[in-house]
Chains A and B, each alone.
Chain A
Amino acid sequence: MSRELLRVEDLHVWFELDGGGELHAVQGISFQLSEGERMGLVGESGCGKTTSILAMMGLLPPNASVSGKVILDGVDMLEKGEETVAPHRWHDIAMIFQGAMNAFNPVKTVGEQIAEPMLLHGTASGKSVASARVRELLELVGISGSRATRYPHEFSGGMRQRAAIAMALACQPKVLLADEPTTALDVMVQAQILELLVSLTRDLGLTMILVTHDLPVVAQVCDRAAVMYAGRIAEEGPTSTLYHDPRHPYTRMLFAATPDLYGDDAVISIPGAPPRLDRELAGCPFQPRCDSAFEPCPTKEPRERSFDGRHRASCHLNEVPTGATAV
């Protein structure tokens, strides 16, 4: 296994609400990533996926407070807040925002917009250096460099997403956080973008976190995945293990709710909705929707347990002795 590059330790995010009170959006997540690894962060809307990666970038709004560590190459970026994140942001860790492809300024050329952060961050001295780099970046994501002088409306959706990826790569980051990078795209274009992301991690040694609600996308692209629920990681492990040997009912039920092209098994929805995070949670947060809940679940918070092969889950079923398994 290659060397550890990124470690997140006990990350919490709270949002102060307008009407008073707090929303505990991320409730102590921890994970680590090796160099060149691709990890999926999956879960339903509101489970804290996007908030977690925004916290890692130091890009949360002012009403948010954060605790925990985000250690990149041995350095805790969150130690002194903005002061310690700013030098790393975009240079070491970059992000493709959800819907970035639709956020281009329509009256500036795509090339100008990719060059902007480079000039701002001083990674390119002068316009000619920047424009040479822009061409290089466009070629890297599969767009002819000559298209740098075109406007966003002259690009198709897939090309705009490629340009957004090029923009994130402008300062040669080590870690790329991609938030739903293919959600609005057609399957064929999605396949093209996923292929590009995989080849970028392979060729540039980029480490990637792919945030998505789409389990099959993670299954196809990522080595490992963390399944988030109610601001916590319910289960984390190699994607194949999560599918074949899940240790948390939520993981199993999410897979069962997802239709598969060749699957013949019934597709079953998960009843209910995720809990509100503006109040204290008792017991296991998934318990009200779980098909396997038993006595301890409503009151006792499950402990996290590790299994073979970098696999861990937080479920009381894993505490049941005599070889019984959770799912």
Chain B
Amino acid sequence: MSALLEIRDVSKAFGGIQAVTGVSLDVQPGEILSVIGPNGAGKTTLLNMISGFYHADTGRITLEGEDITHVSPSHVAHRGVARTFQNIALFKGMTVLDNLMLGRHVRMKAGVLKSFVYWGLAQKEEVAHRKRVEDIIDFLKIQDLRRRPTGSLAYGLQKRVELGRALALDPKVLLLDEPMGGCNHEEKEDMARFILDVNEEWGATVILIEHDMGVVMDISDRVAVLDMGRKIAEGAPDEVRADPEVIHAYLGEAKNGGRRD
């Protein structure tokens, strides 16, 4: 089986700080892969390189065999990679519905002029996209929030809407940066359920950064561990949990250190 996403020996430095050093990772189609590690281990930097937000200094990232190492974020999105952010990045003044429709933007073909006239293709397109968005609203059970400005929603619900916007892209690969950060127990359970359902029913491959070990071990097919910008372990949740280097670098340290949010 060839990997959907291949990360080959990528490194990234910011000034004198080496954020990611020589990380390689294969992501198989249909799996849930979690990336864990202590704060500052380079997890978000790795995600940013996949989504085209940063470009790797060295190394190569390919999606379905195509090199996307130096491609812009919008092109990566076109190829089916969607993401959510650690700090929610929704348009707070816009309604839930508008935020989700916006997520469909890269899939829309009608140009400014056609859209303005709102006739023929543009209208048909809008209806089709709205249908898709309604599927997502139904899937995430946020029917009662359609017309609410996202800024007025509780934090956990905003996280859910952000996931919805990522889903609106019809992603092949879903990058989730701490989707449960700051959520309460119930919201975490809901989110875990949604991630599993997205993976199983919509067939999306998920790359997940998460601090909640319970959730990570529960829903991941595989776990990769980063520490100081290097990959120190990779494997099934149980293997990783038993790895002495991981215990030392991550779990041991997490017990003494706090978490950053």
- Is the A/B pair a real complex? no
Interface residues of chain A, those whose CB is within 8 Å of chain B, are none
